[in-house]
Amino acid sequence: MAELTYGKAIGRAIAEEMRRDPDVFVMGENVGTTGNIFKVLEGLLAEFGEERVRDTPLAEEIIINAAVGSAMAGLRPVAEIMYVDFTTFGLDALLNQASKSWFNSAGRVNCPMVLRCPQGAGPGRGSHHTNSLEAWFAHVPGLKVVLPATPADAKGLMVSAIRDDNPVVFLEHKQLYFTKGEVPDGEYSIPLGKAEIKRPGKDLTIVCYSITVHTALKAAELLQKEGIEAEVLDLRCLMPLDREAVLASVAKTKRAMVLYEAPVHYGAGGEIVTLIQQELFRDLRAPVRRIGGLHTHIAYAPNLCAAAVPTAEQVVVAARDLVGYERKA
């Protein structure tokens, strides 16, 4: 195994798929000469040339429309929007064309595209570069939504996303780009919609994804010192959702919380909490807890940015309450 950053793991996956399949190409703002603002695609232009590494105008509507059209025509574009916030300019093509192509054509027209977007809170970027919009995309039939938390997952899921015949929204948390981890060498993929237990436990399940996996793991370390064994379940994908993995973990621990960075209200956590409550209500020893970001925009100032997103300490407090719920009742 090689140790790679999260960003380089994504870039390696794309490069390997471009070598394997001549129909794969990348497009977006500054993807060529600079390898994008986070250097994820560095070196691709030199290897594959301008025909397959296409710098586009600063026009997100054009990027998404061109990706949808080329995918329907038989290519496999990997299109990048510099920040997920700017997908709003091209949502018509994504939601009304890409997501519906297979349905409206009775299965005759696929749209095998990947839309890569950095997202999530980060100090010094302000409210126009820090949204977490995964629930928007997961709400739309026909879109797959992927949110890797580690370099190994980022590579394996990207390979599967490129090979998938459906449109995939691949959301990369900007604060993870320079985190490091071991990544398997050679051809390596992870099926979309397959969750993973990142840390086993017996007292409660923390269901999470993207950067909150690391928040949950930190909280689990703190809880272990108090004798509480938390299981950390990384969804990796919101759509398709690994319902079986969620239910199996919570059936074992009897307690659950759902952790995500997006504003807590109307977020993906509500769907997962409902799933657990409906399927396992009689088995639960405490109500399912939901922890998300504040219902506010992310400020530029580092202290205000940090105050808007969940922390390990918040998870610890909630876990103590869940484990002690029966005694209080």
Active-site residue, from 129, 173, 214, 295: 129
3-state secondary structure the chain: CEEEEHHHHHHHHHHHHHHHCCCEEEEECCCCCCCCCCCCCCCHHHHHCCCCEEECCCCHHHHHHHHHHHHHCCCEEEEECCCHHHHHHHHHHHHHHHCCHHHHCCCCCCCCCEEEEEECCCCCCCHHHCCCCHHHHHCCCCCEEECCCCHHHHHHHHHHHHHCCCCEEEEEEHHHCCCEEEECCCCCCCCCCCCEEEECCCCEEEEECCCHHHHHHHHHHHHHCCCCCEEEEECCEEECCCHHHHHHHHHHHCCEEEEEEEECCCCHHHHHHHHHHHHHHHHCCCCCEEEEECCCCCCCCHHHHHHCCCCHHHHHHHHHHHHCHHHHC
Question: Residue 129 catalytic?
Answer: yes
Catalytic residues: 129
